């Protein structure tokens, strides 16, 4: 049985708590937050505390708090030589107080408080400073049905950055498409099957091989027509830049149109 | 029974043929292509022809050929006053020869020749010049299990443009993420659940409400860190522009950080 104590009450803390609660082989010993208010609804299932001095003994302490609160919280912990992990994609592992054994348990997913999430599809990226800390974190990921990946700090930074591209930036492209369709009074919903298929396609095909469209074909006529339709300067700038990016990737910038696939 | 004749042998033609073949209530009377070579494998199932003079009578003629071939092919048709549709997102309906009744049967999806596609998830956008042509095109879409949407030319142009954003440009963001992860030797595959969830999320949430991340929060520290990690000029330009676009959408450009959600 792996005993964990969760510190924090945000989206990641809440989703981890639900996953641990369901898991065999994991027990949540305490749930700490500075304010008890957001933990009240769980008080009959788990010991909730707001005084850090009351923290009990556990195998793993999970600091699921905002990035800029990790370091300070790690210094406040009233014990030493225990395993303490944070869950952030971008906080350096060395930012945590070295009085404890340090690790990272980073679930690479987008969390909304309300959206129900099947945790078994969430990859857990594990980083440790002391080798012996690894097996128990791997076991914890396994207990909640997640695939885990041992990575180093540079790799975690790269994943966090790449996640901004595939999540925040992709979502902004959806938003722009929403604005474009709305401007002619056509339903954005018509695009949803295409959005699903675009994501689905790269499960078996690399993004390089999955690419299609006017930019890749260097179809100047369509590109020109699209640019003439765009009335919003920002939409136009995004169209131009991503067209150029595709053409750089596929070497269509210097080729003649008839040489393209 | 709706009788159709397909003209062309590309991805859209091939996928439409498969869908029609499976459908009750639709019969493919002939399949025309300039060259018979790519149709040979179907010669035992359907009459294949390469001579346009041999075209028989049918309810609908579907010009599933490259955009710049639509107009010329429509002029070559050896008959008048029949229903002729193209399948393109961007060709103007008036580009087809007016000797026939004109329409558009535009499946809004990304087609790969090899990828098996469940056609029932493909929305069909229907445009007609003559009102009486509409019901049979709607019935054809229905026969292959597709939802159809009656739209006008401006709306089709907007959808085609928006499709470039959610498909080609999104896929390029996946590609950039692939390059970023590869540069530190970490698997791109770790991002796939996030990619799937990002697409899944907007099935129930608008892209506006689904947005999260450093740009929306105006988290300057993380943005600065990300920019310092980006070694590729194009990646950096894309990061900066899409961050700005998100901040424009969410009004975070002029706000102070502490006022953000």
Q: Provide, rounded to the nearest whole percent, the portion of chain B with pLDDT above 70.
A: 95
User: A166 CA to chain B: closest CA distance, Å?
Assistant: 6
pLDDT, residue A256, reads: 46
- Concatenated DSSP letters for B174-215? HHHHHHHHHHTT--GGGGHHHHHHHHHHTTTS-HHHH--SHH
Q: B35: burial class by Cβ within 10 Å (0-12, 13-18, 19+)?
A: exposed
Q: What value does the mean pLDDT take over residues B2-23? A: 95
pLDDT, residue A261, reads: 36
Least CA distance to A90: which residue of chain B? B222
Please name which of A40, A167, A248, A86 lies closest in space to residue B211, comparing C-alpha atoms: A167
pLDDT, residue B145, reads: 94
Mean pLDDT of chain B, nearest integer: 94
The C-alpha atoms of residue B200 and residue B194 are separated, in whole angstroms, by 10
The C-alpha atoms of residue B151 and residue A187 are separated, in whole angstroms, by 10
CA A79 from centre of chain? 30
pLDDT, residue A115, reads: 63
- Checking if the pLDDT of B256 tops 70, the result is no
The C-alpha atoms of residue B116 and residue B171 are separated, in whole angstroms, by 19
Probe site for chain A from B151, B164, B206 (most A CB atoms < 10 A)? B164
Long-range contact pairs involving B186-192 (C-beta distance under 8 Å, separation at least 24): B186/A149, B186/A151, B186/A155, B186/A158, B186/A159, B187/A149, B188/A162, B190/A108, B190/A123, B190/A125, B190/A149, B190/A159, B191/A108, B191/A159, B191/A162, B191/A163, B191/A166, B192/A202, B192/A203
- Checking if the pLDDT of B115 tops 70, the result is no
Contact, A85 vs A61, CB < 8 A? yes
Chain A residues whose beta carbon lies within 8 Å of the beta carbon of residue B157? 184, 225, 229
Chain A residues whose beta carbon lies within 8 Å of the beta carbon of residue B208? 175, 178
Q: What value does the mean pLDDT take over residues B35-62? A: 97
Domains of chain A: 2-151 (3.40.50.720), 156-259 (1.10.1040.20)
Least CA distance to A194: which residue of chain B? B109
Selected residues 24-63 of chain B with any CB under 8 Å from a CB in chain A: none
pTM, 2 dp: 0.92
Structure token pair of residue A202:
């790269």
**Ranges of chain A whose pLDDT falls below 70:** 112-116, 253-261
Q: What value does the mean pLDDT take over residues B242-249? A: 98
Residue B61 DSSP SS3: strand
- Checking if the pLDDT of B259 tops 50, the result is no
CA B162 from centre of chain? 10
- Checking if the pLDDT of B41 tops 80, the result is yes
Report yes or no for ipTM above 0.90: yes
Least CA distance to A189: which residue of chain B? B203
pLDDT, residue A186, reads: 97
State the pLDDT confidence band at B240, using cuts at 50, 70 and 90: very high
β-bridge pairing A148-150 and B2-7: unpaired
pLDDT, residue A113, reads: 64
Cβ separation B249–A172 shorter than 8 A: yes
Indicate the range of A240-254, B65-79, B108-122, B232-246 predicted with least confidence: B108-122
DSSP A244: H
Chain A residues whose beta carbon lies within 8 Å of the beta carbon of residue B151? 186
The helix, strand and coil proportions of chain A, stated in percent and rounded to the nearest 5, come to 50, 15, 35
State the pLDDT confidence band at B111, using cuts at 50, 70 and 90: confident
- Checking if the pLDDT of B4 tops 60, the result is yes
* Residue A192: count of CB within 10 angstroms of its CB: 18
- Checking if the pLDDT of B257 tops 50, the result is no
């Amino acid at each position: 049985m792996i005993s964990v104590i969760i510190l924090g009450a945000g989206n990641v803390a809440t989703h981890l708590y639900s996953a641990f609660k369901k898991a065999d082989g994991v027990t949540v010993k305490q749930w700490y937050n500075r304010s008890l208010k957001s933990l009240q609804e769980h008080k009959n299932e788990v010991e909730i505390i707001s005084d850090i001095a009351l923290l009990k003994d556990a195998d793993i302490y999970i600091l699921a708090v905002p990035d800029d609160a990790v370091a300070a919280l790690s210094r406040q912990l009233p014990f030493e030589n225990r395993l303490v992990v944070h869950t952030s994609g971008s906080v350096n592992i060395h930012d945590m107080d070295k009085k404890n054994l340090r690790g990272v348990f980073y679930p690479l997913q987008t969390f909304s408080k309300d959206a129900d999430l099947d945790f078994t599809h969430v990859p857990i990226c594990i980083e440790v400073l002391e080798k012996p800390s690894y097996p128990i974190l791997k076991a914890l990921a396994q207990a909640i049905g997640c695939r885990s990946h041992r990575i180093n700090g540079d790799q975690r930074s790269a994943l966090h950055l790449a996640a901004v591209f595939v999540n925040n930036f992709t979502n902004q492209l959806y938003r722009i498409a929403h604005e474009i369709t709305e401007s002619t009074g056509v339903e954005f919903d018509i695009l949803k099957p295409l959005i699903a298929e675009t994501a689905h396609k790269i499960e078996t095909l690399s993004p390089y091989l999955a690419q299609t469209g006017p930019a890749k074909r260097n179809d100047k006529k369509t590109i020109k027509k699209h640019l003439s339709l765009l009335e919003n300067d920002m939409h136009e700038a995004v169209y131009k830049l991503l067209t150029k990016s595709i053409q750089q990737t596929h070497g269509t910038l210097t080729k003649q149109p008839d040489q393209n696939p």
